[in-house]
Amino acid sequence: MALRLQRFLIARGATVALNDAQPVEKWNTDALALKREGVGCLGGELPGWLLDQLDLVVISPGVPTKAIPLRYAERAGAEVIGEVELASRYLKGRIVAITGSNGKTTTTSLIAQLLKDAGLQTLVGGNIGTPLISLVESSRDDGWTVVEMSSFQLETIKEFHPTVALALNVTPNHMDRYESFTDYAAAKHRIFMNQGPGDVAILNADDEIVSSWAKGLRAHVTSFSVKRELEEGLFLRGGEIISRTPGGERVLLMSDEMKLRGLHNVENVLAAVAAGLACGAAPDSMRETIRNFEPVEHRLEFVAEVEGVKFYNDSKATSVDATVKALEAFADDSGKIVLILGGRGKKAPYAPLATLVRERVRS
């Protein structure tokens, strides 16, 4: 991303310097290529004299916004933003933005496919892997850009304005970054901060924190639920996925038509369809897309069956809650599952896994 970002800024007349905590000689080849192109490359702590002269600082999502050099630069008059905020100022067309502790990538990918199959000009990027800055040149006034947003990216938005914004859920995650769960949830809530009455906010009615945000939003709120019928919104009734508006209700599809596995993926589909409707996609087109939509790579992705044993790759389940949802998706296989876990704990509580592991995991 750094290479694209630097060239984007240079093309618009900026004098650019790149900084990383590591010594320059340890940087990757892409970063060192920038040095040969005349970009200033500085390893380690930035000197105060340079911080005093900066107009704009674009930070990687992994850099905490409370880092002392950033606070110093802000006090000296620099604007501190992230790559998503910068790109959004140049993107043409309208934005659909998706956040949540779990399900972001599946929902983002599905929304993008729903819009493409409905004949809408669609780009997709953000936390899903494609830097938003690389989509600026191909964006169009009549198009949509579907953007996956992490809490880290949302910390640094200022003018970022999605026409349609989704909050899927908020569960403990990244507690090694935030002082409290409240701070983490507040970062997620920022996705709605620039929306107005002409925009749409899509909320999970089954999530206590997310649903509580409805009263304070300026955008039109659409809710979804897998647990109960809603007066207005999208919900699961038996095996039917239903859209209900003041004009009546419509069965959009049956949940058993989906290739996606688990109740959490029904939630993702409800959220995606709500976004598709807000963007003008036709219900019949969306039904066909959902019926053919395969699990996204690394997300309960079926790998192979070897001598009667089915292997699933869920390596993007990087939180306790995501692992809970994965185990819940295999309700018919209780006592047969071999669970392989690893990675950083991020100071999240593991207790919610205990009961499910006892009930469903063999080893």
User: Any idea which residues carry the catalytic annotation?
Assistant: 104, 127, 174
Closest CA to 87 of 155, 17, 134: 134
Within its chain, how far is the Cα of 280 from the centroid? 22
What CA–CA distance (Å, rounded) separates 35 from 32? 5
CA distances from 1 to 25, 114, 206, 282 (A): 19, 27, 36, 35
What CA–CA distance (Å, rounded) separates 43 from 23? 4
What CA–CA distance (Å, rounded) separates 307 from 51? 61
First to last CA, the chain: 40
Closest CA to 101 of 342, 318, 274, 275: 318
What CA–CA distance (Å, rounded) separates 288 from 292? 7
Q: Which single residue is written with the structure tokens 């950083």?
A: 344
Backbone angles phi, psi at 49, to 5 degrees: -65, -30
Query: Amino acid letter at 285?
Result: S
